[in-house]
Amino acid sequence: MADEKTEERGRAEQERDEAEKATEHKAEQAQEQADEQAKEPDRDPKEIRGEIQESREELGDTVEALAYKADVKAQAQKKADEVKAQAQAKASELGGQAKENQSQLTAVAGGAAVVLVLLLVWRRRRS
């Protein structure tokens, strides 16, 4: 259990690192784009506003993804729900097998009882 938690923390840290790298990469791209656009003369203000809005949306998506990955409690709850569902499915499966085994055991016991009765009848007739 402790190993799983340690492993989960490691994965969460790795995901945060990857998200940070992605954010840094996007920031670098935005800076490069801004530098290129600064070189362009007389750009249309509507076009600039559209690009700014697009950048804001991308940044919002990135922040949202980072927030999700940083929310270890929510991820742990999600994992717990998955494990709970798997356990319930396995319990249901084992319950069905137990009922099947009980039916088979009853049939074998009934067959054994019939054999014993036949043996007793046969012995009495033989004596």
For tokens 């993804």, what's the residue? 65
For the chain, what's the residue count?
127
Alpha helices in 1-127 (DSSP H): 2-39, 45-70, 72-126
One pLDDT digit (tens) per residue for the chain, 127 residues: 667 777 777 777 787 778 788 778 777 887 777 777 666 667 788 888 888 899 999 998 888 888 888 888 888 888 889 988 888 888 888 877 777 778 777 877 888 888 888 888 888 888 6
Alpha carbons 76 and 78: distance in angstroms, whole number: 5
Alpha carbons 76 and 16: distance in angstroms, whole number: 15
